[in-house]
Structure 1
Amino acid sequence: MGPIVHIGYHKTGTTWFQDRFYPAVRNRHYIPRATVRAAFLARGALHFDPAEARTHLGEAPEQAILCEENLTGGLHNGGLAGNLSKDVADRILRTLPQAQIVIFVRDPLSAIVSAWLQYVKGGGTFGLRRYLFGRDRLSPLAPERDEAPGFNLDHFDYVRLITHYDGLFGPERVHVFRYEDFRADPRGFAAAYAARFGLDIDLAHIDWGTRNPSLSLPLLWLARAMNLFTRRAVADKSWLVHIPGWYGLSRRMLRRANGSGRFGRPLGMRDLLDDALAARLRSHFAPGERLLAARLQWQARNEDAEGTVLRWRQRPLPYDGHAQSPAHR
C-alpha cells in the first residue's frame, strides 16, 4: 500500500492520532513529528533534497506512518498564502511517490473559531474579527503583508489542496475524511479507519479521554488579558510589557483552571460567531464546500466498487456540541 502520510488539517484531531492512535499500530512504524518536520519542512524550497528527506525518515519508509498537520501549512499564516502547502505536496511526491495521503477536513466555520481559540491559547490578544480580517486594514503596499503573513480564510477552502494532491498522487490514493464523523463516534470511526488501511491495533487499550477542551467565556477573557504581559508566542498580537517566564506560567494556570470545570462550559462555534459573520463566512466557503461534497461522494462510490468502503454518518449541518471528543480544538 505504501507509506501513510496524514497531512492534517489543523484542528481535526491530529494530536490524538499522533499521541494515542498511530504509536499503537503494530504492523507499521510511526515516525515522530520532529522527524517528519526535519524531513519535509526544515529546508527551504530551493534547497529541498528528497534523498536527504528519505535519510531523515530512516529505514523502510514504505511501512511508515507520518502525521504532521503543518504539512498543510501553518494555522495562523494560511500556509504562506498556500505556497508552502502546495510545495510540501511536491516534496512528499518526490520523497515518497507511493504514499497514501490522508486528509481530515472540518466544517470551515468551526475550524476557524477553533483556530482563533488556539491563537488566544498561544498568546494572542485580538478578538475574532481582528484575527480574521486584520490584514484588510493594511494598504496593498504595507510591508507587513510580506514580512509577517497572517491568517488567510482560503486556507480552509480544503478542496483546493485536495484537488492538488489528487493531481499529484491520483485521487484513488488521496483519502479524505470528515472530522465531525470522528468526533461523533471516535471508537467506531477508529475501528473503520484501521480496517480501511489494514492497521493492526488493539483499540481496547487506546485512551479515549478528552483532552484540551475549549475555554469557557471567563477564561477566554482572562487569557487575552494575561497575554498582554508576554510577547510570546504568536506574531500578530499586542503586549504591554514582557515578563520573562510569564507565558509558561500563565499557560499552566489556564490549563489548571480550565480542567477544574469551575468556570463554565467550553465555548462552541455558535457562542462566538454572530449571525452576520457566520453568513459572510458561509457564503465565502459555499462553492468549495459543494465541490468537497462531490469529491467525498466520488470517494464513497469508488470504494463501494472495490468493496472496501467504510461508511460514517454524513451530517447535513455542522456538528457543534460542547462535549469534546478525543480530538481537540
Structure 2
Amino acid sequence: MGPIVHIGYHKTGTTWFQDSFYPAVRNRRYIPRATVRSAFLDAGALHFDPAQARARLGEAPDKLILCEENLSGGLHNGGLAGNLSKDVADRILRTLPNAQIVIFVRDPLSAIISAWLQYVKGGGTFSLKRYMFGRDRLSPVAPERDEAPGFRLDHFDTIRLINHYDNLFGPRQVHVFRYEDFRADPRGFAAAYAARFGLDVDLAHIDWGRRNPSLSRPLLWLARGLNLFTRRAVADKGWLVHIPGWYGLSRRLLRAANASGRFGRPLATKDLLDPALASRLRAHFAPGEQLLAARLQWQARTDQEDKTVLRWRQRPHLHDGPQQSPSYRR
C-alpha cells in the first residue's frame, strides 16, 4: 500500500493519533514528529533534497507511518499564505511517491475557534476578531505583512489543498475524513480506520482520553491576562513585561485548573462567535464546503465499488448530500 502520511489539519485529533494510536500499530513503524519535521520542514524550498529526507526516515519506507499537522501548514500563519502547504506536498511526492495521504478536515468555524483557543493557550493575548482580522488594519505595504505572516481564513478552505494532493498523487491515494465523525464515535472510527489501511492495532489497550481540552470562559480570560507577562510563544501578541519562566509556570497552572473541572464547562463555537460573524464566515466558506462534500461523496462511491470495503455511517453535515456515507476497508 505504501507509507501512510497523515498531514493534519491542525485541531482534528492529530495529537491523539500521535500519542495513542499510531505508536500502538504493530505492523508498521511510526516515525516521531521530530524526525518528520527534520525530513520535510527543516530545509528551505530551494535546498530540499528528497534523498536526504528518505535517509532521515530510515529503511522500509513502505512500512512507515508519518503524522505531522504542520505538513499542512502552520496554524497561526496560514501555511505562509499556502506556499509552505503547497511546497510540502511536492516534497512528499518527490520523497515518497507511492504514499497514501491522509487528511482530516473540520467544520471551518469550529476549526477557527479551536485555533484561537490554541493561540491563547500558546501565549496569545488578542481577542478573536483581532486574531482573525488583525492584518486588515495594516497598510498594504506595511513590513509586518511580509515579516510576520499571520492568520488567514483561506487556510481553512481545505478543499484547495485536498485538490492539490489529488492532482499530485491521484485521488485514490488521498483519503479525506471528517473530524466530526471521529469525535462522534472514536472507537468505531478507529476500528474502521485501522481496517481501511490494514493496521494491526489492539484497540482494547488504547488511551481514549481527549487531548488539548478547550478552556472555560473564566480560564480563557485568566489565560489572556497571564499571557501579558511573557513574550512567548506566539508571534502576534502583546505583553507588559517578560518574566523568565512565567510561560511554563502559567501553562502548568492553567492545565491543572482546567483538569479540575471547577471553572465551568469548555467553551463551544456558538459561545464565541456572534451570529453576524458566524453568518459572514459561513458565506465565505460555503463554496469550498460544497466542493468538499462532493469530494467526500466521490470517495464514498469509489469505496463502495470496492467489495472489501466496510461501510460506516457518517454524521450528517451542513453541505453533505443524502448519499454521503464514508466507508472503510474490512
CA apart distance, 1:312: 3.4
- C-alpha distance in 1 between matches for 2:311 and 2:71: 26
List per-residue Cα deviations over 1:19-55 (Å, max 9, x = no partner).
0000000110100000000000000000000000001
Once the two structures are superposed, the pairs formed by residues 121-270 of structure 1 within 5 Å of their partners are: 121-270=121-270
Q: Is the 8 A contact 2:15 2:211 kept in 1?
A: no
The alpha-carbon distance between structure 1 residues 289 and 317, as it changes in their structure 2 partners (threshold 3 A), is: closer
- 1: CA distance, partners of 2:311 / 2:103: 16
Task: Give me the TM-score of the superposition, normalised by structure 1.
Answer: 0.96
- Give distance in 2, aligned partners of 1:6 and 1:14: 8
Please say if 1:304 is aligned against 2:304: yes
Output the TM-score relative to the length of structure 2.
0.95
Stretches (4+) displaced over 3 A: none
Give the 3-state SS of the residue equivalent to 1:26 in structure 2.
coil
Q: Equivalent residue for 2:111?
A: 111
Q: SS at 2:311's partner residue?
A: coil
Cα separation, 1, equivalents of 2:203 and 2:174: 25
1:321 counterpart residue number: none
Deviation of the 1:59 alpha carbon: 0.7
2:3 alignment partner in structure 1: 3
CA distance in 1, matches of 2:83, 2:311: 33
Which 10-residue stretch deviates more, 7-16 or 299-308? 299-308
| 1:47 aligned residue | 47
1:259 Cα shift?
Answer: 0.4
Shift, 1:314, TM fit: 3.0
Unaligned runs of 5+ in 1: 319-329
2: CA distance between counterparts of 1:218 and 1:312? 37
Q: How many residue pairs align between the two structures?
A: 318
Structure 2: which amino acid aligns with 1:216? Answer: S
Mapping 1:9-48, distance limit 5 Å = 9-48=9-48
The answer to whether the 8 Å contact 1:31/1:64 transfers is yes
SS of structure 1 residue aligned to 2:22 = helix
Residue in 1 that maps onto 2:68: 68
Gap regions ≥5 residues in structure 2: 320-330
CA deviation string 1:205-224 (max 9, x = no partner)? 00112333110000000000
CA contact (8 A) 1:300 1:309 kept: no
* CA displacement at 1:317 relative to structure 2: 4.4
- Structure 1 counterpart of 2:219, which letter? L
Task: Using the aligned pairs only, state the percent identity.
Answer: 82
Contact 1:26 / 1:199 at 8 angstroms: preserved in 2? yes
Amino acid corresponding to residue 142 of structure 1 in structure 2: A
User: Partners of 2:181 and 2:233 in 1: how far apart?
Assistant: 32
The one of the two structures with greater contact order (alpha-carbon pairs below 8 A, sep at least 6) is 1
**Pairwise CA distance, 1:114:** 0.1
Question: Residue 5 of structure 1 aligns to a residue in which SS?
Answer: strand
| Contact 2:12-2:104 within 8 A present in 1 as well | yes
Amino acid at match of 1:76: H
- The residue aligned with 2:276 is 276
Q: Distance in 1 between matches of 2:318 and 2:269?
A: 13
Distance 1:295 1:309, change over 3 A: farther
Superposed displacement of residue 309, structure 1: 4.9
Cα distance, 1:62 vs structure 2: 1.0
Maintained 8 Å contact 2:77/2:149? yes
**1:294 maps onto 2:285 in alignment:** no
